[in-house]
Each structure stands twice: as C-alpha cells, then as structure tokens.
Structure 1
Amino acid sequence: MDLLALTDFNLVARHGGFGRAARATGRPKATLSRRVAELEADLGLRLLERGARTLKLTEEGRALYERTAVLLTEVDQTAAEIASGGARPRGRLRISAPMLFSQIAMGKLAAGFALAYPEVRLEVTTEDRAVDMVEEGIDLVIRVNPDPDESLVGRIFVRDRLLVVAGPGLARPEDGTPVPAVVRGSADRSATWAMRTPAGPSRIAVDPVLGLSSLVMVRDAVRAGVGAGRLPVSLVSHDLADGLLVQWGEVEGPEIALWALYPSRRLLSARVSAFLEFLKAAFPLGTSEELAAYITS
C-alpha cells in the first residue's frame, strides 16, 4: 500500500471533499484525486462515492479511515517531535576518545551522560589512532588536533596548552647543559625544546632519559624528579598550585584543540546531538583551566 496515497485519502476524508482538502493543504485537487484513485485500484475497493456535488465514504472507505487516521496522526506527531528535538534520545551511542582524555575526564563525562539519558546505551573505546567511523560503527570521535577530513564535521570543545614543567628539586641549568627529560614515545637524544618565558623566547637542550607511552605516566615520572617534561595545563595545574611541580615556560607551537567529530550528515541523531550539548554544558568556556577544574572537582 502506498503510504502517500493513504495520507491523501485521509486528507480528503477528513475535509469532506477534494476541493476542501486542496484548499486546506495547498495540494493540487487533481493530484489528490489521482492518488485516491490509485489507492482504490491498489486495494480493489471503492472508497468514495462521488456525486455531482457531494462526496461520501463507502463502508469500506469509512473503515479504512477510522483505522488509519489515528496511526497517521501519531506518525506526524512523532516526526514533529524528533525534528524539534522533543524525542528523548535512546539506543546505542558509540564514541572513540584518545587515551589521555579518556583517563582524566571521559569516565566522569560518561557517567553524567548515562544518568542524564538512561535510555542511551553509551559505549566508549580508547583509541589514539584514526578510526574508520563508518566501517567500525562509531557515532562520534574525540580527537586532538585532527587532520582535515572532508567526510567529517565537528567542533572544538576544549583548548589546552603545553607547559615545560619539572619537580622543584630539578634546577634549570643556565650554561646550556642538557636537562634530563621525560618524553612521550621514543627518546630523541638530540632534542631541544622551544618555549616562551616572562623574559622572552628561550630554548633548552634536553637529554631524554625516559620515554613513556602515556602523558599521565610522564607527569608521574616528572613529579618523582626524574626530569623535566612537556605536559598540558589541564594535567598539571593542580600540581603547580600545590608546589609539586614548577613551570619553566610555555611550549611554543600550536595550541592543543580537542574536537568532537561525526560523519558529515545533514541530520544528526538525537543521541549524538545530546552528547554534543552535554559536552558544551560541561565545558562552556572550553579553556584548559576549565578542563583542569573538571578533572579535580
């Protein structure tokens, strides 16, 4: 059965004629007449008795109208609710997030979202690699400074900065002697770090004595006094305030931007829209200090 033809039949039945239905809806009278005739041919039933001036439902037409009018009204109301955001998000929502953000903030975010939207089944995986969202069934990804991707759209929800920090017992040498350093990843023995200080731009030579795969581990090692490290404000602001770490300068280079990305579609699901709004509410300013406060609160 043609749903559009059934809808047009209901319009004519509700308004009591083709002319009235056409005037009320702005639909051409000829189109309504053709659609109803097609529905009658499809069903093999006469649904309307067409007189010279009057039109009335046959017994079969009245039965069809009474059984389908309520259903079509519910369909219209549901579509209107979804379009206006009134429908409550439900179903599975799969998110991929980077390791550091997952370790320091994603658990709290996920718990808050689950409490706010109990009908959504949230699944979060930790991936620093670029995932194939369509192939792997991911609805939304959180990434740090992602490469441009024409198939994805999104927004920045938090900006962070890198600082050069060290334990209070490690003095910065003034004679160019390499400073022991804790780095993420493999150790580059010829590394230098450029940074901004109150006195102006500065560069220090570093001797990477320890390479670790996680910035949380880097922070812990720096805090233990192994060497200096480059760490985001959000991860070390509490330690700086407590005197567990001291700041040597701010790393030169682009800022750290956390993006929420999703496939480039004209219409977003209510689940993804709800999570984007939840992120916006959690970080209304989107600053590193706000993220640090969120982590420690």
Structure 2
Amino acid sequence: MDLLALADFNLVARHGGFGRAARAAGRPKATLSRRVSELERSLDLRLFERGARTLKLTQEGSALYERTGVLLAELDETAAAIASGGDKPRGKLRVSAPLLFSQTAMGKLAAAFALKYPEVRLEITTEDRTVDMIEEGYDVVIRVNPDPDESLVGRILMRDRLVVVASPSLDRPTGDRAVPAVARGTSDVTSSWDVVASSGNARIMIEPVLRLSSLIMVRDAVRACVGAARLPVSLVSHDLAAGRLVRWGDIDGPEIALWTLYPSRRLLSARVSAFLDFLKEAFPSGTPEELASFID
C-alpha cells in the first residue's frame, strides 16, 4: 500500500472534502483527487461516495480512516522525535476520566504531570459515559469496570470496594425494619443491601429518602445523618478513621476496578506512555488507600 496515497486519503477524510483538504495543506485539489482514486483502485474499494456537492466516507472508507489515522499521526510523531534527537513527550494528550476519580484525584495528578512534562498539552474531560476513543479523539480513557472491547488494550490502575456507612447517630436496623438510605441517581431501585461484616453476612432493608447524582454529594448527605449509603472505601476512609462515619459492612458483590484504556496498537506515542507510567507511579499498589491519600 502506498503510504503517501494513504496519507492523502486521511487528509481528505479529516477535512471532509478535497477542496478543504487542498486549502489546508496547500496542495492542488486535482493531485489529492488523483492520489485517492489511485488508492481506491489499488484496494479495489470505493472509499468515498462522491455527490455533486458532498463527499462522504463509505463504510469501508470509514473503517480505513479509523484504523490508519492514529497510526499515521504516530508515525509522524516518531519521525519528528527521531529528527529532534529523542522521544521526549510532547503534543496534545486527551484523556477521559470518570467523575468521582476526577473530583478526588485528577486535578492534583494533572498538575503534577504538567509540571513534569511541560511540552505535553494535557486535556482532561470528565464523564462517566462510554466514549468512542477513535471517533472522539481520546488518547487514554479511564473507566470503572469497562465492558470488554477488542479494539482497546487496558490495565487495572487500582481496585476499590463498596462499603455501607452511616453517621454514628443513625441506629443500625434490626430484623426487617428498613433504614433510610441515600441512593446515587434515579436508576438505583435496590430495596436491600447484602453485606459482609465481622458478625457474618446480613441483609439490610433500605428505604431511599434522597437521590443524588454525585458520590461526593451522597457522602456529604450521609455525614449529615440523612441516611446510610453504599460508598467506595477510598472516599470514606478518612471519615471512618476520624469517627465521622461508621462502617456497617462490605457490600457482597464484585470489586470495583479502575482501568486505563488505550487503542490496541503496538506503537504508543511517548506522551501516552509517559502518562500511563505516571499513573502507575501514583498508584504503585493499586489500593483504595492510595486513592484516599488524594482526598482532602
């Protein structure tokens, strides 16, 4: 495959048309059109649907663009790094991180990374939804218990677990009596919690009296004795140690695993590798206590 023709195809796909790509690159429009046509003939595929005024990627063209765009960008970066005499991290680094992790740790982590690597332009977006890394242009995504994805490579950054906590002034229920509870969001319709405590397994009946979208808000409401809640141990470890909250037991269920994900490819840019190594240094053991150290 002609890499120069592939690069021209990516240029046209990125700008959404031959004219815009020609103006952006300072290249003749006719040359770009000819190179893309040659690539289509060599692959025996139509990469663009050409209309009178529109140009749209075909399904095959979209797949080729998604798989080769990042690779070509990394090849350019590698060549530039070699030409400049090293592989020093530089350029834009886009990261998507979940809300709680961003609120508790990412501000301090991002600041420390920026000071260590001043030539990297770090951009953090906070969201809990599933993102399309290639389509949305993210270099690294941090997620809790992500679904398997063959197009991504991942490593566990840290592990956490849910515990049931309450204010010391809230009596723990006995029997079938329901305890007032603070739930996260409107989708949590659980009517009971199965917990593991030193006294053995137990089921706690609950009645949600407050629903909040943020776990930090849930913690603050529990501190105010509104009700009990399920919260990550990393978020409440300081409160437990100080006696502001008491622990009724661990939730009987799967662990919480925080993953770092990046596109499945053999060649990682220097800035992505530096960011992954930086996170590993921040959480060498991957314990909840390491995350708790970031919480004031």
Q: What TM-score, normalized by structure 2, do the two folds share? A: 0.71
Paired position in structure 2 for 1:110: 110
Q: CA deviation at 1:295?
A: 2.6
Paired position in structure 2 for 1:127: 127
* Amino acid paired to 1:180: P
Paired position in structure 1 for 2:194: 194
Output aligned runs, 1:8-47, within 5 Å.
none
2:160 corresponds to 1:160: yes
Paired position in structure 1 for 2:182: 182
Cα shift readout 1:126-178 (whole Å, capped 9, x = no counterpart): 11000111111110000000000111101001100110000011011112200
Q: Which runs of 5+ in 1 are unaligned?
A: 1-74
* Distance in 1 of aligned mates of 2:141 and 2:243: 35
Does the CA-based 8 Å contact 1:187-1:211 persist in structure 2? Answer: no
* Amino acid paired to 1:282: A
* Amino acid paired to 1:171: D
Structure-2 change in CA distance of 1:187 and 1:93 (3 Å): closer
Greater than 3 Å deviation, 4+ residue runs: 75-82, 187-190
Q: CA deviation at 1:220?
A: 0.4
Q: CA deviation at 1:255?
A: 0.7
* Amino acid paired to 2:114: A
Structure-2 change in CA distance of 1:121 and 1:173 (3 Å): same
Paired position in structure 1 for 2:70: none
2:88 corresponds to 1:88: yes
Q: CA deviation at 1:293?
A: 1.7
> What root-mean-square deviation, in Å, do the aligned CA atoms of Structure 1 and Structure 2 show?
1.9
Cα shift readout 1:185-214 (whole Å, capped 9, x = no counterpart): 117566110010001111110001111101
Cα shift readout 1:225-282 (whole Å, capped 9, x = no counterpart): 0000000011000001111100000011111100000010110010110000000100
Q: CA deviation at 1:108?
A: 0.5
Structure 2 residue matching 1:195: 3-state secondary structure? strand
Does the CA-based 8 Å contact 1:188-1:208 persist in structure 2? Answer: no
Structure 1 residue matching 2:272: 3-state secondary structure? helix
Paired position in structure 1 for 2:238: 238
Structure-2 change in CA distance of 1:260 and 1:188 (3 Å): closer
* Distance in 2 of aligned mates of 1:187 and 1:224: 23
Q: CA deviation at 1:290?
A: 1.3
Structure-2 change in CA distance of 1:190 and 1:239 (3 Å): closer
Cα shift readout 1:82-132 (whole Å, capped 9, x = no counterpart): 8xxx52100000000000001000000000000000000000001100011
Larger radius of gyration: 1
Does the CA-based 8 Å contact 1:187-1:210 persist in structure 2? Answer: no
Paired position in structure 2 for 1:136: 136
Paired position in structure 2 for 1:292: 292
Work out the percentage of aligned pairs sharing the same amino acid.
Answer: 69
Does the CA-based 8 Å contact 2:100-2:216 persist in structure 1? Answer: yes
Paired position in structure 2 for 1:30: none
Q: Which runs of 5+ in 2 are unaligned?
A: 1-77
Structure 2 residue matching 1:294: 3-state secondary structure? coil
Structure-2 change in CA distance of 1:232 and 1:77 (3 Å): closer
Does the CA-based 8 Å contact 1:97-1:125 persist in structure 2? Answer: yes
2:223 corresponds to 1:213: no
* Distance in 2 of aligned mates of 1:219 and 1:260: 25
* Distance in 2 of aligned mates of 1:189 and 1:127: 22
* Amino acid paired to 2:131: V
Structure 2 residue matching 1:113: 3-state secondary structure? helix
Structure-2 change in CA distance of 1:167 and 1:135 (3 Å): same
Structure 1 residue matching 2:112: 3-state secondary structure? helix
Structure-2 change in CA distance of 1:161 and 1:81 (3 Å): farther
* Distance in 1 of aligned mates of 2:84 and 2:171: 62
Paired position in structure 1 for 2:228: 228
* Amino acid paired to 1:170: L
